Each structure stands twice: as structure tokens, then as C-alpha cells.
Amino acid sequence: MFDINTAIGHWPFRRIPNQSAAELRRHLESHGITGAAAAHTAGLFYKNCHDANLELAEAIAAHDDFFVGVATLNPCYAAWERDLETCVNGLGFRALRMVPQYHDYSLSDAPALALVRAAAALDIPVLIPSRVVDTRQRHWLDVERTQSLQDILAVCRAVPAARIVATELPVTAGALSTPAGQPVCGNLYVETSRQVSCYGQVMAQVVKLLGADHVLFGSGAPFKEVEPSLLKVYHADLDADARCQVCGRAARALLGLS
């Protein structure tokens, strides 16, 4: 089991359990998860979000057999090119997270697309959260804006060499397919934490459409409980090979771990 969607660090608007790397690792391992991609929550809020990447590197250094670092960068902040290079070639991070709703830009802006292209050139995937927490229950100082499927598909089409992972996004096969029944974008990956369960039927349909290598297990921990995502995968109508892909093999391949 490999979890593509986790985070460590303090959340300023409510108390979150399992914030530290050690606590989160124990929590995930208690559910049978043996590795995870983690971003740092402070990267949403720091003026220079690269400071959060440095904190993340320190936090997961003792857990490099479990955690993979996910950089958080703002394309409208100075020196992001240098910081991206540092994250990938200096800190060993294997993915990039972009959060325009927190950093106040649009995915269609030229600097945003430049960052996506730079990530593609470095051969790392780009994670784009539709949201971080449920905006219906947000603190009044937290953002209300979310990223839609269409926002994310526009990036996929603008930078076809990039591998885009939509996280925290409820998707169905119908929304992801063309009128001819083909995937809308071949470079789009989705994770499971907000997929509707429907006794596993929706996930099975998405896997059939996109391929099991484009559907990645994600829990959203520590903001969300792990069990619902596990149950969706366990009860989905998948064969053994597809289930292994979704549960971790596809994510490890995407991150260059296998």
C-alpha cells in the first residue's frame, strides 16, 4: 500500500491529529500502508513557501524508507526555478504540489504553466488538490475557492508532457470520458479519497476508463480518516492486478520508486 495524498505540519484553523512525520507514519502503518507521498501544510501559508519544503526535508529525513517528499511552490514567487531544482536534485523530492487557491493565482496563468513545464522537464508529477479541507466547514479566514475538473483538464491539455494528479476531486467515468468513450486526457491521474463509493462501482468504472496505472490510492490523512479510502479500494470490482496497481504499484512507478 502506498498513499499518494498525505501531509504533515500544523493546520492553523483546527486541531489535527498525527501532524508529525512519526505520528503520521504510525497512523498509516496501523492501516497497512507501507509508504506515502507527503507535502508540508505550512507551504500553503508561508510567504516563502520554500521554507516549508526545507522543514519537510528535515521532518522526513528519519523516515526516508517510508515518506517521499512533495514540494509546494508558488510560481508567482521569486526564485521558484531555483527552489524547484533544489527540491528535486538537492532534497530528493519526487513530486510537486500546486495550490493556486492558497497562493492567489490561476492555473491558466503563464507562470503556473511555466512551473508545470519545468516539473515535466524534471520528470516529476504535479499534484493539484481540488481542495485541502471541506470548504463547507471552513474557518472564515480559510479560502473558499476550489479547483474544478475543468481547471485541471485545461492544464493537462496545455502541457501534455506533464503528468497531472488531481487530488481531493470527486470524479466519475462519465466526467472523464469523451463522447467516444475515451479518456479526456491521457496525462491525467486521479486519487481515491473523494471518489464516490457506490459499492465500488464508480471506482471500477474509472479504472476501466483510465487504466489502473492512472488511479492512485490516497487517503487525505491526517485531515481525513484512512478507513473510507481503504474500503473503497477493497470493495471495488477490480481484478487482483488492477487492485495492486491502485493500491500502490502505480503510484510508486509514477514517483520513480520502482
Question: How many domains does the chain fold into?
Answer: 1
The C-alpha cell at 205 is 468504472
- Alpha-carbon Rg for the chain, nearest whole angstrom, is 17
Q: 102-154: per-residue pLDDT in tens?
A: 999 999 999 999 999 999 999 999 999 999 999 988 899 999 999 999 999 99
Q: 227-237: per-residue pLDDT in tens?
A: 999 998 998 99
The CA distance from 233 to 215, in Å, is 10
Which domain covers residue 131, as residue numbers? 2-254
Quick one: pLDDT at residue 195? 78
Quick one: pLDDT at residue 171? 87
Quick one: pLDDT at residue 196? 64
Q: Yes or no: say if 217 and 246 are a contact pair by the CB < 8 Å rule.
A: yes
- Rounded to the nearest 10 degrees, the angle between the axes of helix 149-158 and helix 110-121 is 60
Backbone angles phi, psi at 219, to 5 degrees: -105, -30
CATH code of residue 199: 3.20.20.140
Q: Yes or no: say if 126 and 162 are a contact pair by the CB < 8 Å rule.
A: yes
